[in-house]
């Protein structure tokens, strides 16, 4: 006779096997919910970041369209903050005017900026779609 007890005893026939199956199923549900929450947070973060970028670029567009003084503190702040996001598109089309003292306060319809707004919106939707696609591949079927 073995003096050590069995560390993995067989479940008694009192319904404990059924309880183990229920616990396992509840654990799988909890894991699925955690994954869903994580992916939704990632997707919402993408929407928030892209939305903030879009607002910043639209502000820059309206400042340029209305001929805002580029030496104004608010305009400087918006131009400095949005500059890195606009720079890849700045030479897409020829700029209507160069910034000189004669053009200070001139209304400028910036097509490059409109294209940047559209491209960043499309990239945001693409990133969101990729996150949803990955979630569908990783997440188990809902219970």
Q: State percent of the chain over pLDDT 70.
A: 79
| b/e map 50-74, b = 16+ CB within 10 Å | beebbebbebbbebbeeebeeeeee
Q: For residues 7 and 107, which has the higher predicted lDDT (pLDDT)?
A: 107
**Is the pTM for the entire model greater than 0.85?**
no
Residue 106: pLDDT band (50, 70, 90) is confident
Residue extents of the structural domains in the chain: 32-138
pLDDT tens, 118-141? 999 999 999 999 999 999 888 765
The whole-number average pLDDT for the span 67-80 is 92
DSSP structural state of residue 50? H
Look at residue 99 in the predicted model and tell me its pLDDT.
58
Burial of 117 (0-12, 13-18, 19+ CB in 10 A): buried
**Mean pLDDT rounded to a whole number for the chain:** 85
Structural contact between residues 21 and 49, judged by C-beta atoms closer than 8 angstroms: no
Residue 12, pLDDT above cutoff 60: no
* Direct distance between the N- and C-terminal alpha carbons of the chain, in angstroms, rounded to an integer: 46
């Amino acid at each position: 006779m073995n003096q050590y007890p069995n560390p993995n005893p067989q479940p008694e026939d009192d319904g404990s096997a059924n309880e183990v199956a229920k616990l396992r199923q509840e654990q799988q549900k909890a894991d699925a919910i955690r994954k869903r929450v994580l992916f939704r947070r990632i997707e919402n973060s993408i929407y928030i970041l892209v939305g903030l970028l879009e607002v910043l670029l639209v502000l820059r567009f309206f400042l340029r369209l209305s001929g805002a003084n580029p030496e104004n503190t608010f305009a400087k702040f918006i131009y400095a903050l949005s500059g890195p996001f606009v720079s890849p598109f700045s030479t897409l089309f020829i700029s209507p005017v160069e910034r000189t003292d004669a053009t200070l306060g001139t209304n400028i319809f910036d097509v490059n900026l409109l294209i940047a707004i559209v491209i960043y919106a499309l990239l945001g939707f693409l990133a969101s779609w990729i996150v949803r696609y990955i979630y569908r591949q990783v997440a188990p079927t809902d219970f």
